[in-house]
């Protein structure tokens, strides 16, 4: 499904040569996530997953000030215990969809990334940030905890001690510190963030789509397994590739000293 075939109240979706950009577009509230926006993000990512012409996705925020400044506090303040569980599950469902999209997804953090916004960025396979970006999980200061996967993904990414410091203090860090602790992959000047992120993804898009998909699966699923099971998964996925035209093309191109022309078959 192309962007022209989709209609969103709170998102801007654009395509450029196989690279889809999904931007949360609620700048008046710093691109905060309300239930409608979360639903639209679910539809947008599902469409990207099912569109063979889409090879990679950038998630970002509209405007220069904010990536996603968290969940909508007006909605959170009205939660009941049962409603709170459901709210968390809905956010987690979206993050799982992003994490297991089968195509590389990079969060281009162009400004504030707090709470649910940072949690959604954590579900992306990579994160880039503008030098001006600020990040944090402030939930404990509101009497709640991260609920979209932050307590699980952040420790896996930066380690337990660093993650607990961020979660329990509710503090903010800048892009430089985020890069130092491994929270973001690359930092760019604000005006170069999207072009730099695009360059990173196009480097990946030049590789075999099947190999990229299986590598994502091996890493994502393997991290949840004991090492012995993860190694077995890796071997089994490795064994699928000799049946593909992409492997034949990749090997032939290497031997012939030419760039490969992958088709995803």
Asked if residue 83 has pLDDT above 80, the reply is: no
Asked if residue 84 has pLDDT above 90, the reply is: no
Q: What three-state secondary structure class fits 225?
A: coil
Range with lowest mean pLDDT among 20-29, 81-90, 182-191, 233-242: 81-90
pTM of the shown model? 0.94
pLDDT given for residue 72 in this prediction = 73
Active-site residue, from 139, 165, 229, 249: 139
Cα distance between residue 100 and residue 50, in whole Å: 12
Active-site residue, from 119, 198, 234, 256: 119
pLDDT, tens digit (0-9, with 9 covering 90-100), for 91-146: 999 999 999 999 999 999 999 999 999 999 999 999 999 999 999 999 999 999 99
CB distance 148 to 116 below 8 Å: yes
Mean pLDDT (whole number) for 155-174: 97
pLDDT, tens digit (0-9, with 9 covering 90-100), for 3-12: 766 789 999 9
Say whether 256 is catalytic: no
pLDDT given for residue 4 in this prediction = 61
Asked if residue 153 has pLDDT above 90, the reply is: yes
Domains parsed from the chain with CATH numbers? 3-205 (3.90.226.10), 209-255 (1.10.12.10)
Structure tokens at 229: 């099971």
Neighbours of 9 (CB within 10 A): 9
CB distance 225 to 233 below 8 Å: yes
pLDDT given for residue 82 in this prediction = 77
CB distance 73 to 124 below 8 Å: no
Say whether 119 is catalytic: yes
Cα distance between residue 91 and residue 73, in whole Å: 14
CA angle 34, 101, 218 (to 5 degrees): 135
CB distance 27 to 40 below 8 Å: no
Cα Rg of the chain, angstroms: 19
């Amino acid at each position: 499904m192309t962007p022209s075939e989709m209609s969103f109240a709170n998102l801007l979706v654009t395509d450029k040569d196989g690279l889809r950009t999904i931007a949360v577009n609620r700048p008046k509230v710093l691109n905060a996530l309300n239930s409608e926006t979360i639903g639209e993000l679910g539809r947008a990512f599902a469409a990207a997953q099912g569109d063979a012409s889409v090879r990679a996705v950038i998630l970002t925020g509209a405007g220069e000030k904010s990536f996603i400044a968290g969940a909508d506090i007006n909605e959170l303040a009205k939660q009941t215990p049962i409603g709170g569980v459901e709210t968390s599950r809905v956010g987690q469902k979206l993050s799982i969809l992003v994490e297991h999209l089968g195509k590389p997804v990079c969060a281009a953090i162009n400004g504030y990334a707090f709470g649910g916004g940072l949690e959604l960025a954590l579900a992306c396979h990579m994160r880039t940030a503008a030098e001006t970006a600020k990040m944090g999980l402030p939930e404990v200061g509101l009497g709640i905890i991260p609920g979209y996967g932050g307590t699980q993904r952040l420790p896996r990414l930066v380690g337990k001690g660093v993650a607990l410091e961020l979660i329990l203090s509710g503090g903010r860090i800048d892009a430089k510190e985020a890069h130092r602790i491994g929270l973001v992959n690359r930092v760019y000047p604000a005006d170069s963030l999207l072009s730099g992120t695009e360059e990173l993804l196009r480097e990946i898009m030049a590789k075999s789509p099947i190999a990229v998909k299986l590598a994502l699966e091996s890493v994502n699923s393997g991290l949840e397994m004991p090492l012995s099971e993860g190694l077995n998964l890796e071997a089994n996925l490795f064994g699928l590739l000799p049946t593909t035209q992409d492997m034949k093309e990749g090997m032939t191109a290497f031997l012939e000293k030419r760039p490969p022309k992958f088709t995803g078959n």
